[in-house]
Amino acid sequence: MIWKYRAINNPVAKRKWLTYSLCLVILAIATVTYRISAGLSPKKGLVALTSFFLVIFLYTIIMLGKERYYFINDEIRYKPFKTKLEDIENFEVDKENKLIRLKLRKSSFFAVKTLYFEDEEEMEEVIRFLEKVTGLGS
């Protein structure tokens, strides 16, 4: 089973990427402020800050519009992350935000913990699949 989503079409994923971008903007402002206080001319600092903003803006647009793919066979894959189906203890469905949160027996940093969707039909298909394979209900 394969499905795709774009972060711009999922409210939780969109919020996650916008928050990440805001953190990058704050880091850019802090870096340029520090460099100006350490002796960089304000003119060069403004050019650097403008460049940072442009790069962060373009990065955010690309990440919000990029298609991401999930694969399910013996495990749930979202490259480079993967979770074996037998590791799923339970799952929680949030239809309003179009996502499924997986509760794992043994959590790992590289495990898929949240499944995002932009299409409700694909989400229903994955819910049925997870209920069938794991023997769990939401």
User: How many residues are recorded in the chain?
Assistant: 138
* pLDDT tens, residue by residue, 63-98: 999 999 998 887 888 878 888 888 888 899 999 999
Considering 47, 65, 83, which residue would you say is the last residue of a domain? 65
Last residue of a domain, one of 15, 34, 65: 65
Tell me: do 82 and 44 sit in the same domain: no
Report the alpha-carbon distance of residue 119 to residue 99 in Å, rounded. 10
Number of domains comprising the chain: 2
Cα(80)–Cα(131) distance, integer angstroms:
25
Chain-centre distance for alpha carbon 19 = 11
Domain boundary among 28, 48, 65: 65
What is the per-residue pLDDT across 23-62, written as a single tens digit (0 to 9) for each? 999 999 999 999 999 998 999 999 999 999 999 999 999 9
- Pair (91, 42) in one structural domain: no
Q: How many CB atoms lie within 10 A of CB 72?
A: 18
Q: Does residue 58 sit in the same domain as residue 85?
A: no
Do both 61 and 85 map to the same domain? no
Indicate which CATH number applies to the domain containing 126.
2.30.29
CB neighbour class for 83 (10 Å; exposed up to 12, middle 13-18, buried from 19):
buried
